[in-house]
Each structure stands twice: as structure tokens, then as C-alpha cells.
Amino acid sequence: MKDKSEVIIVTGSSGMIGSGLIHKLAEKYHVVGFDQDGYPFPPVEAECVCVDLTSDDRMAFAFERIRYAYGNKIASVVHLAAYYDFLGEPSDLYDKVTVKGTERMLKYLQDFEVEQFIFSSSMLVYKPSSPGVLITEDSPLEPKWDYPKSKVTTEKVMHEKRGKIPVVMMRIAGVYSEEGSSIPITNQVQRIYEKQLSARLYPANTAHGSTYVHRDDLLDAIVLTIDKRKDLQAEVIINIGDDETLTYQELQDIISTSISGKKSPIIHIPKWFAKAGAFVQNLFGKAFIKPWMIDLADDHFEMDSSRAKKLLGWTPKHGLRETLPKMVENLKANPKKFYQVNNLNK
């Protein structure tokens, strides 16, 4: 046990990743959670400092609190806070919160001795690959909607505005856990569980898929990145994802078999038909699938995380193939809780 003299700031500290990270860091570090006013709050192990990433006054006040309570030295800032939605519509919050908010943090951090700044970026910044073709940190970027576009823009801000602060751009795969925690996966689970017609229809290549990463493996990667901060280069990009990338067909088969004991066949439909169906569903309710998602359904993201293994000594201990049946077990044991935890509409 180290004497808790080193300070870690975690933004987005009340979220799934932030709260879990605080639990892991609290025994070794003074942890400060930057978060919005009001509920939900960061875990009790962290001091909660209310901050608004879009406000200079609130940001200045937050860092005055840091200096007063902890001094001028910060071991690491783990920046998880960002704006996102699945509406597919333009929003100025991507710029105000994610891009300008990060730039504002870097500006105020220039007056501190900061050993590291970790930015949570996304796998979706990359140009899609094809089955068997791994995406490395040097692969081309091609973000296709506002969320990953804001991450690419913010990475450029990090490069230009970091000053002497060492930065890590962590490009993270889709996060999941036994409780669910993944919006695309839990919605697929819901469609199959409720025997919705849309669960059997798909407008793209079912041999394509995306890399995911278990929440606990991601937390381990972040902790290792902090612990090894003095060994890393001043600016580094790291992919964080599972060793195995499941296809959409494999996801469907594992989920349906776990739910009903048999596979649920998929019927291929044209994209125009899928878009029309999604449009109608959203006219009469808040369906997860939006028309804009149909154009991205063929995208394949298969990440290579070997740099993380080499630089951090990190190895994922979980896999989606093994976790999906446990996720379904939790659904069956308490459907109401599963729906609430994952914000699923009945």
C-alpha cells in the first residue's frame, strides 16, 4: 500500500467506467471526481468536485479546489466525460462538451505539474476494416457520425494544446459487462428476448462485427496506464479491445441459444426496407434502431490491441463469447432490474 500522496482526477466520475475506476484507484491514490451537479454522484471514496466543462468560471473554481486541497502536482487526469447520443442528429454539445471542454481542461492544467492526461477516445474513429484485417493505431481514420468525429477533433486538440503534459489517447472498443452495459448489445438481447420481428431481420453482412471490451479489462488497462505513466512516451495512442471479435451472426446465435436453447435464424432484408421500418417504428415510439444506423450496419471493426499488451503488460481476461450467457442469466433472473440498469424501454 502506497501512502496516498498522489492525486488522480477522474472526469465523468459517476458513470459506469468512472465509478468502477474510482473503486480500483482509491486504495493507492487521492481520487477526485469531476462531475455535474446533482445525482448521480461519484463513489464515496472520491472527493466530488462539481464542474461544468462548458464554463470557464466553474472550471477555474474546480482547479482552485484542487490546488487548495492537494497542491500543484497531479499524477494523472483520466478524462472520461463526453457528450454522446444515438439520435444521429447534429448537436452543438459535441463541440461544447467534448472538444471545447477538453481544451478548457488542458488550459487550466497548464498551471499544474501534470504527469499524465488520459483521454478516452473510441474505436469508431477508424475506417472500417474487413474480417481478418486488424485495425492498428496506425490505421486510417474515417469517423462516420458526430460522436467519433468529436473524438478525432479532440485528439487533435490534445496534440496541439497539451503543452508539456504527457497524453495518452485510449481508443476503446464497445464496453460491456455481465450486467449488460452496452447499448447495442442489450438492445439486441431485448429484441430476441421479446421475440420482436426486428430481431430476425438484418440489412447487412452477418459475417461482419465489432470488437468489444469487458468493463473490468478496460479498468485494468487504465490503472496500468496510470501506474506506468513515467515509462510511456509524451504522446501515445493505445487500442483497448478483446482478443476475439464476434460477428453479428455469432452474437445472434449465442444470445438466442442462451435465451431459448435454440438459434434464431436471420432473414436478410434490403437497406431501403430496413430504413423504412426504422422510420415507422420511431414515429410511434422511441425505437433504438434509427434510419441512419442502417448505412453503418455493414461496417466491420476488428481491433489489434498488441501495443497495449507490449507497453502496459495488459491482457484481457474476459471475452464476449463467455460473458453473453452470463448477461442473459442476469436478464432471466431479474428482467425488471436488467431493463432498468440498461435503460431499456418496455
Using CA atoms in the order 218, 318, 328, 256, what is the torsion angle rounded to 10 degrees?
Answer: 110
Band (103; pLDDT cuts 50, 70, 90): very high
What is the DSSP track for 210-262?
Answer: B-EEEHHHHHHHHHHHHHTGGGS-SEEEEEE--S---BHHHHHHHHHHHHHSS
Cell numbers 447534429 correspond to: 90
Residue (of 11, 8, 96, 99) closest to 55 by Cα position: 96
Rounded Cα gap, residues 327 and 26, in angstroms: 28
Band (62; pLDDT cuts 50, 70, 90): very high
Rounded Cα gap, residues 11 and 18, in angstroms: 7
Number of residues that this document lists for the chain: 346
Q: Which of 31-45, 46-60, 246-260 has the weakest average pLDDT?
A: 31-45
DSSP class of residue 98 equals I
pLDDT in tens, 207-266: 999 999 999 999 999 999 999 999 999 999 999 999 999 999 999 999 999 999 999 999
pLDDT in tens, 161-189: 999 999 999 999 999 999 999 999 999 99
Rounded Cα gap, residues 274 and 295, in angstroms: 10
Q: Outline where 162-205 has alpha helix (H).
A: 183-193
Q: At what angle do helices 320-333 and 248-260 cross, to 10 degrees?
A: 40
Q: How far is CA 155 from CA 118, 146, 148, 160, 243, in A?
A: 11, 14, 11, 9, 25
Q: What local confidence, expressed as pLDDT, does residue 2 receive?
A: 44
Residue 76 has pLDDT above 50, yes or no: yes
Rounded Cα gap, residues 69 and 179, in angstroms: 36
Residue 87 has pLDDT above 80, yes or no: no
Rounded Cα gap, residues 71 and 93, in angstroms: 32
Average pLDDT over all residues of the chain: 94
pTM of the model: 0.95
Residue 323 has pLDDT above 70, yes or no: yes
Exposure string for 274-313, b = 16+ CB within 10 A, e = fewer: bbebbeebeeeeebbbbbebbbebebbbbbbbebbeebbe
